[in-house]
Amino acid sequence: MISKELLKYKYGKLIEQPIEEFIKEATFIQTQFKDTNLNVDRPLLIYGNNNRNACVYSLGVNYSILNKKVLDYTIITAPHFINQHFLSEEHRDMELYQNMYYTDLLFITISQLDYKHQYLESLLIDLIETRLTSNKLTHIYFETNGSKKNNASYMTLFNYLTNKQLALDITATTKPSSFSKPTQKASKETTTKGGVKFF
Amino acid sequence: MKITIPNIIISALNTNDIKYVDNKLRDIESQLLLNEVEKRIIHDIDENINLGELPSVSFIRQKYSYAFLDDILEISLESDAIDSAINNIRIEQARTSLKLNLMELGNNIDKLPPNELKAQISALTENKLLSGKEEDYTNHMVTSENAYADSIYDGEGMTLGLHQIEEYAGKALPSTVVTILAFAGSFKSTYALQLAYLNAMEGKNMLYLSLESTATQLRTKMVLNHIATTTDKSEELINGKWIIDQTLKPELQKVYNNYYNDLMVKLNNRIILWDEEDIQYDTFLDMTEVLRRADKQFKKETGRGLDGVILDQLALLKNTRAGGRKYTYDGAVLNDWMTYFRKQALNFLDTGKEINVFVVSQINRDSYTEASKPKKRGMYDMTAASDSNEIERASATMITLYKDLTADNTLLINIPKARNGYTPDSPIQTEVYGEYSHIGPLKVNLNSFDETTFDLEDLING
């Protein structure tokens, strides 16, 4: 039996204010998690909307209960990861770096606003695969920022993950939007010379 | 050259090794027949050994020169010849004894009936000189009617405090040493004190030797732990800091007093708590005297002797004289102390009784740094003990404690050695409340948590 108190101590730091909103968000995500019937042994792509902490809380607690052990977790952003990667060992945050490889649950936040670097995708895929060989899970939290999902930036990564299992969509957030949505424009597709579409 | 018992004693004294001399005197007493002077010499030396010293050879020579002719006491053997000399005298004494017995039998042969004659002749053949054999040794590898009953321990071992630990290591059986290892400030003493408390509550007589904290401090912690273990009301939990800062509110002072007396009644004299003011522990003889005193006190107060000793902590014995031989480094002293306690566990005060010994020891800094890395996460291995190599060998069970820095109130426990069990793949997670001197869940928190239908709101708010 897992200790409720140990779960609280481990994941309590993720709780945000106002607490009622956080509870609603985390409960909503837990429901989505259960309803989607996910494979808990495979990495997961999560579409989120400003609810990363609630997502980590909910998934972390659920995975801990499934494993009958309070699982450690680490959260890192993709740009920070690649910045760390290119630093020499003396400048690198070794504890964070080691955590990325050895922690029980790793959550990597990516966003369409990130500076896109092709090498980053292969680094992320390599990290996920390396961790998978040690039966450690890595989840990618894609921050949609309230706008439509654009996975064009990370097509390779997303295809890799959705090939493992279906993505979890938790963008139907219960929270009111914290910033105003862009006004509707007439749909007008434009392309670059390279043929990449923009909304 | 005729070797006598005083020569052997003088030769042993010349080694200047208290432990060696003590052992040889015991050998001499058990194997040889002694006259009054020889007994007196041994008695003199024993009295000095009790004070942690050896008398000088010249003192013994001068004091007892009246009893010996010529310069017998001037003869001294080399140390590797002493055992042979003892055997030599034993054989001589056996010959003399046989000679006397044969002469007596010869004188009585006309007076004794046949069956009595037969019995006396048979007794003569038991003389070690004639029988020519050593004592029979027990053969353990034989068939048995109930091998299972022979194999199990008749009784219950001591608790290790948490059921998760016992799932891997089992209970602590008598005749074993359990070592508790942790880095500085990682709840070693809290755990050791909790073991004393829990085992005493189960009826075991526990001696707690604290070389670091005072008995008063430990007694206070025990009361706080007793409250944390037994109360259902969170408002009764007392933070140790309030006592140290003398800010404990009057109503909580009453609570403290009530639980204090409740604890003393329930313990019923089954814990003796001595700090360094109460004991001498410079030598093995000092420690033996401490154990003897505790055993006597338990017998007087509970009707039964000592069952377990907790030493907190081993490192503080490094500046003692221990066995009296020359030590070139601290580890050697501590190795000898571990051997001493292991022997006490196996054969307490040479009475044949088996007891439990718990030794608190320190983790070295390198092992702590290694265990703090994400890859290891609280997993110490057997080489983590800083104080003594003998810890790994002498311990039946090693339990390591690591305070999880990534979560509040979380302790990671590993069992790198479990002679009667097995080691876990990953550390055991448990709660720790230093402010209440308690390891494990608090009774106030033992509400049901159904893992299948739990509510996140309850977890976040509860």
| Tens-place pLDDT, residues B79-98 | 778 888 888 888 888 888 88
Chain B nearest-CA distance from A75, in A, is 13
Q: What pLDDT shows up at residue B145?
A: 85
Considering the entire predicted model, what is its pTM?
0.74
Q: What pLDDT shows up at residue A191?
A: 43
- Residue B164 predicted with pLDDT over 80: yes
For range B32-51, the mean pLDDT: 89
Query: For residue range B413-423, what is the model confidence (pLDDT) as tens digits?
Result: 999 999 989 99
Q: Which residue of B has its CA nearest to A17?
A: B460
For range B8-28, the mean pLDDT: 88
Query: For residue range B237-286, what is the model confidence (pLDDT) as tens digits?
Result: 999 999 999 999 999 999 999 999 999 999 999 999 999 999 999 999 89
Q: How confident is the model at residue A74 (pLDDT cuts 50, 70, 90)?
A: very high
> CB distance B410–A98 less than 8 Å?
no
> CB distance B460–A26 less than 8 Å?
yes
Which residues in A lie closer than 8 A to residue B373 (C-beta atoms)?
95, 98, 102
Residue B430 at interface with chain A, using a CB cutoff of 8 Å = yes
Q: Which residue of A has its CA nearest to B456?
A: A27
Q: What pLDDT shows up at residue B166?
A: 95
Q: What pLDDT shows up at residue B133?
A: 52
Q: What pLDDT shows up at residue B26?
A: 87
- Residue B337 predicted with pLDDT over 50: yes
Which residues in B lie closer than 8 A to residue A12 (C-beta atoms)?
408
Average per-residue pLDDT for chain A: 83
- Residue A179 predicted with pLDDT over 50: no
Q: What pLDDT shows up at residue A182?
A: 45
- Residue A63 predicted with pLDDT over 80: yes
- Residue, of B452 and B441, whose pLDDT is higher: B441
Residue B58 at interface with chain A, using a CB cutoff of 8 Å = no
pLDDT > 90 fraction of chain A, expressed in percent and rounded:
48
Lowest mean pLDDT segment, chosen from A102-106, B36-40, B159-163: B36-40
Chain A nearest-CA distance from B443, in A, is 12
Which residues in B lie closer than 8 A to residue A27 (C-beta atoms)?
456-457
- Residue B10 predicted with pLDDT over 60: yes
Q: What pLDDT shows up at residue B173?
A: 93
Among B302, B356, B303, B446, smallest CA distance to B159 is for B356
pLDDT > 70 fraction of chain B, expressed in percent and rounded:
92
Which residues in A lie closer than 8 A to residue B460 (C-beta atoms)?
8, 15, 19, 22-23, 26
> CB distance B449–A19 less than 8 Å?
no
Q: What pLDDT shows up at residue A88?
A: 87
Residue B459 at interface with chain A, using a CB cutoff of 8 Å = yes
Among A60, A58, A54, smallest CA distance to A174 is for A54
Among A151, A149, A145, A150, smallest CA distance to A182 is for A145
Q: How far apart are CA B31 and CA B128, in angstroms?
A: 11
Which residues in B lie closer than 8 A to residue A57 (C-beta atoms)?
456
Q: How far apart are CA B409 and CA B423, in angstroms?
A: 23
Residue B460 at interface with chain A, using a CB cutoff of 8 Å = yes
DSSP letters of chain A? ---HHHHHHHHGGG--SSHHHHHHHHHHHHHHHHHTT--TTS-EEEEESS-HHHHHHHHHHHHHHHHTSPPPEEEEEHHHHHHHHHS-TTTS-HHHHHHHHHSSEEEEEEETTSPP-HHHHHHHHHHHHHHHHTT-EEEEEEE-TTS----GGGHHHHHHHHHHSPPEE--S-SSPPSSPPPPP-----EE-TT--EE-
> CB distance B408–A9 less than 8 Å?
yes
- Residue, of B361 and B51, whose pLDDT is higher: B361
Phi-psi region of B439 (alpha: psi -120 to 50; beta: other; left: phi over 0): beta
Lowest mean pLDDT segment, chosen from A86-95, B164-173, B292-301: A86-95
> CB distance B445–A5 less than 8 Å?
yes
Query: For residue range B103-141, what is the model confidence (pLDDT) as tens digits?
Result: 888 888 888 888 788 878 877 776 666 655 555 567 778
Query: For residue range A136-172, what is the model confidence (pLDDT) as tens digits?
Result: 999 999 998 877 566 667 888 999 999 999 888 888 8
> CB distance B429–A69 less than 8 Å?
yes
Q: How far apart are CA A108 and CA A78, in angstroms?
A: 6
Maximum Cα–Cα distance across chain B:
104
Dihedral sign computed on CA atoms, order A64, A69, A70, A75: negative
> CB distance B459–A61 less than 8 Å?
yes
- Residue, of A77 and B67, whose pLDDT is higher: A77
Q: How far apart are CA B408 and CA B183, in angstroms?
A: 17
Q: How far apart are CA B346 and CA B357, in angstroms?
A: 10
Q: What pLDDT shows up at residue A186?
A: 46
Instruction: Say how far residue B34 (Cα) sits from the centre of its chain.
Output: 33
For range B35-62, the mean pLDDT: 88
- Residue, of B448 and A33, whose pLDDT is higher: A33
Q: What pLDDT shows up at residue B71?
A: 61
Lowest mean pLDDT segment, chosen from A141-150, A182-191, B301-310, B395-404: A182-191
Among B57, B12, B22, B83, smallest CA distance to B322 is for B22
For range B139-159, the mean pLDDT: 81
Lowest mean pLDDT segment, chosen from A22-26, B116-120, B390-394: B116-120
Lowest mean pLDDT segment, chosen from A38-42, A45-49, B114-118, B402-406: B114-118
Contact (Cβ atoms closer than 8 angstroms) between residue B225 and residue B195: no
Contact (Cβ atoms closer than 8 angstroms) between residue A116 and residue A153: yes
Q: Which of A8, A15, A135 to mutate to test the interface with B (most CBs of B within 10 A)?
A: A8
On the CB side of B21, how many CA atoms lie within 13 Å of its CA?
Answer: 31
For range B12-32, the mean pLDDT: 87
Q: What pLDDT shows up at residue B267?
A: 95
Average per-residue pLDDT for chain B: 88
Lowest mean pLDDT segment, chosen from A37-51, B38-52, B379-393: B379-393
Q: How far apart are CA B157 and CA B380, in angstroms?
A: 25
- Other beta carbons within 10 Å of B287: 23
Q: What pLDDT shows up at residue B42?
A: 92
- Other beta carbons within 10 Å of B62: 11
Q: How far apart are CA B179 and CA B462, in angstroms?
A: 37
Which residues in A lie closer than 8 A to residue B442 (C-beta atoms)?
5
- Of A175-179, B105-109, B214-218, B386-390, the range with the highest mean pLDDT is B214-218
Which residues in B lie closer than 8 A to residue A21 (C-beta atoms)?
none
Pairing of strands B397-403, B177-182: parallel
Residue B405 at interface with chain A, using a CB cutoff of 8 Å = no
Contact (Cβ atoms closer than 8 angstroms) between residue A123 and residue A38: no
For range B161-166, the mean pLDDT: 94
Q: What pLDDT shows up at residue A183?
A: 45
